[in-house]
Each structure stands twice: as structure tokens, then as C-alpha cells.
Structure 1
């Protein structure tokens, strides 16, 4: 993540290097400011997803305004203008304009629809009044961290960790005793890059995005929550509501509810174990045409849990996990 932040900062700050010139040539001057789309590669989608976080933790000291988004960067005293003047933004015909674009004629000139609502007119009047003395200079824009300190990836990462801005589910991903391959599997899922049939179909690898168990498209949410074949698994672990989750965070939250008595370090591991079994049972169907039923899922969960327990640090008691494991064994008989 720190490396991505460094690349984003160089790109947004107007750094002139071969790779930034290549990015601007292929993706435009705004680079990663456009919303993520299905046509993006996984790496480029990760850039775009982290860009909103980058904007959230940086302030801009405007110089020439060439690299500062008029609406979405935090350069105005009132904060990002998209949040302060939402009605006015809805009438803008080009939300991607920079501060330099807005002041090309040395006064505020926004590309707006010819007719504004009363609310938008009021917001425009307030905005013009607050910017009547604004002036650009020949200096480049400067991106700063809170407190006016210069941007650095180490400082930015510390801010993200202390303010909760970091990518969701990081605690589940790394604060556990699951095997490394499972952590990598979950990291890929968190970033939306799991090789589902919908993803492979979108890239031309598979002729159909259909789930191997039902007629729905197998996207990430369907893979880990929506498919009816997961109902026995969720019932086994005492989390029947996980199937109604709307994203991966919701799935993890639902799976964690019956595990509330466990320490977070252990709870995170058991949640990853359940998702790992969901993935492995799906692959048994795809590659071996085996549909694992409730008893087989319980047995697979128990086998993996017993193996993973050897990785549990001695400072944690294994008795709660043994009790959970005993319930699984009972379900598998």
C-alpha cells in the first residue's frame, strides 16, 4: 500500500518521469481520478480505489492549480467543494476540471448548465464570494498532510492506521494465525480480484459467467454469500444471515457474530477458515464435479481447523476453539 501511495503522489503531483508520462498519455491528464470500471486491469483498479483515500488524507496548497481537482481535492478553506456545494456540482458539465481550468480567465468561471436551481444559485453566490480574492501563481501545487507537513508514504500510512482510513478488513487479513496462502487469498478477495467466473468471462477466458451451482452470475459477492449452496455452511457455523450480506465486509461481520466469545486474533482466523472452505468447496465442484454437502463441509472445516491449531501462539487458549471444533465434528457424524 505504501508503494502505491508513493506512485499516486508522484502521478498527481505532476512528477515528470517516463512512467508518469506513459500513464498520462494512455489515461489522460487526470490519470487515476476517474471511477473504477470493468475495463480496468486489477493493478489499475487498485490505484483508483486507493486514490480516494489519498485525497482524504491530503490537503493542497494551490500554486498554479494545474494538478488540483476543483471539486474533489481539499484545497478550499471549507473543505472539498463536492461536499460543500453538492447542488452546484450536479449542474457542472465537467466535474473533472482543475482549479487552473476554473480560473483560466483570472476569475471563477465554471462549466455549468444554463439554468440553475435556487439552491445551486445560492451555493454559486457563496462560492464566488469566498473566492473573489483567490489568485494563482507560477509555483506548482503542493500536497501536504494534516498539520502542514510534507507528504511522505510513511507518515501517510501512520495517519491511515490511526484514523481508520485504511482499506477495510485489514485486521482480518493480517491479525490471525492462518497460513500465508490463506492470507494472500483473502487479500486478493478484499481487492476484488478473486478469479470468479464473472471476472474470467469479462476477460474472455470463459464463455459464460454462470455459477457452477446455479444460474446466477458468479461474482465476488455471489461466491462468498449469495449462492444457495452456501446455506448449509452458514448454518453449520451459526451464521445463517451471512447469505444476505451486501459486500465482503458484511459477510465477515455476519460470520464473526457467533464467534464473539473468541479473542479477535482467533475470531479473524476462524472467519478466514470459513471463507477458505467456501472457496475450496467451490473449486471441488469446478475441477472435480463434486458438490460437497453439509456433512462433507463440516468434515473439511474440522480437518483444516485441527491443522491450523498447531499454528496458534501459546499465549492464546485453545479451549474455545476446541469447543467450536467439537461442534463441527458432531455435525460431520
Structure 2
């Protein structure tokens, strides 16, 4: 049975939706009757500064259940679109929620996507783990589960919190590249190192690999070809093997810790950079960037966003 410590449910079992319900109730209490009298700009500021901010603290430690994220999104939608009419209060959205949650420069209103933000905050913990930061929990996990093993090639083990982070390892590896020093934390074939992923760069040689999850350290230390490949090799595989040997011939392992660096060029992993990276393929008109940089009050900017997005209640839109 989990108990509350520093505002978070703490226990040996994974928190249920019921354990996280107090956070949802706290967000519901932030909704006031005065919201129906506020402008969309005021509601947007309220959603970001009050309701969304409540979820940031637990998301930095826990992976929120999908139902909790759904309930928080429901509260945020109600807060943003709530409107008082002569008949009753209505909540009619003028734009899709996915569109609202895009960054402002990507054509959205800048409301945080809680699922992506939750991943970004948890990936910061993986950055500390893979880069061997001198933190007690990092040292404990390395010595308990991965002594001489590559973490993402080993079987899942540990508490439910760590297993949630294990599920994010493919995501972290997809946005980072390894600067090999010792080679004991990176896979030779499947990780991005030496500016390429050898699985895709040398597919024929990889098809003859005896151990697909061999580390860079083990591969470079092995002198016996039969220990790393299933012989005999085809002619194409031999050509790729010779190319691999030329590429790794200059590598010398100095024994220091490997460095995992973000693919967007930053040395330090930032949640804001990852959040922007997720929306890198979303194309938006340049007018949205000009709109949010304009020196005008937020009310005018939000009205301009509705105008550029064709989301105003005009006669043409109402007739659709």
C-alpha cells in the first residue's frame, strides 16, 4: 500500500490510478466560475501556469498512467473552452487538442503535451545513468544489475520505476550518439557511434554476426574472427568487413566513461530541446512566428492565432 512522501505516492508497488487521483482532484479545484468571464488569452495563461504546472513535479519522477493524463487533458480542455451562454455553460472546442498542444512556432498555442513532457523529464534520468553521474541511485543500479553488461541489451530487472525507464531506453538511444571511450555501454551494431549505426551501414556483415548485442569494447578486443562472425562470409560481407576494419582501426579505448551526446548537438540534455525535437517535422506558416514575437497584448495574439488557423466562428466556418 503506497503512502505519500513529498507529495508523491511511495511504495514497493506501482501507483494505481486511484493513488494518483488526488492530483486530478487538486487540478479540478483550480477551476473557478470566473473562468467563463475570462478571455481565451487569460484561460490559456491559467491552463499553463496552474493546471499544467501541477503535473510537472510528479512527471519528473513517475510515468503517469494514460488515464491520469487523459483526465488532466479533459480538465485543461474544459478550462480553455468553457463559455457561459444565455442557456447554460458550454464547452465547444474551436480547434483540435493536438493542434493546441503544438509549440507556438509550429502553429500551436504552446500548451504542453503531457505525454511528451513526461518522457522528456524521465529521459533526463537516463542521461545521468548512461553518463555515469556520481549519484547514489546511478551507482546502485550499475553495480546491482549491469556489472559488465550493456543496459539496453540485458533483461529488464529492478523496481517498477526503473522498468518504466527501461521502456524509454530505445527513445533515448534514438536521440543520442555515443562518444566511445571505454565502449562498455554501447552496442557495436545497434547504437549510433562513429557517426553511423552499423546495422544499417553494413547490413550484409551484420547478417553474419554471431552476437548481435556485442559491445564495442568486446568487439574491438576480440582478435578471433570466428568468435564474432558465423563463417564462412559471403563476398559482400567480406567487403563490408574490410571497410569496418578500416573505420575502427584508429579507435583506441582509454578506459574512461563513454559519453552520450544529443543528436541535435547539445552536450547537455534539456527537456525543452527534446520537446522541440519531437515537433521538428511539423511545418507551420512563418506568420505564426511573427505573431508571437509581435509587441501586443496576449489577447490580440490569441485572436490572431485563431484568425491564422481559420478557427474563428465566422459564417463560413459555422456553415461547414
TM-score under structure 2 length normalisation: 0.44
Q: TM-score, normalised by structure 1?
A: 0.43
Structure with more contact order per residue of length (Cα contacts < 8 Å, sep ≥ 6): 2
